Amino acid sequence: MKFIDGIVITEIADKKVAICTGEASLVFTGFINLNETGYIIWSDIEKGLNLEEIAKHLADEYDDINFDEALESTKEFIDMLKKKGILLD
């Protein structure tokens, strides 16, 4: 998985957001709010981790979710990014 070029993560009012710049803004306009979990998933994708590795990271990070729940949440977030056209396989 790889993000398209031209996405910037910044903070607005103490919240992390992803914004497309340059040619990437032709693919997606607006911004994506990243809560703590979304930011972890985003960062793990940037590090080159696969779906299962990201889910394991989330399950290890949060005591109140198991691997299967983390896997489902990760899939949903990744699917949303792909539908917006900013994440490639």
| CATH code for the domain of 36 | 1.10.10
Q: What is the pLDDT of residues 71-83, one digit of tens each?
A: 999 999 999 999 9
Q: What is the pLDDT of residue 30?
A: 87
pTM value is 0.92
- pLDDT tens-digit map of 12-56: 999 999 999 999 999 999 899 999 999 999 999 999 999 999 999
Instruction: Give the other-Cβ count within 10 Å of 77's Cβ.
Output: 21
29 Rama class: left (phi>0) / alpha (psi -120 to 50) / beta: beta
The boundaries of the domain holding residue 8 are: 2-88
Number of domains in the chain: 1
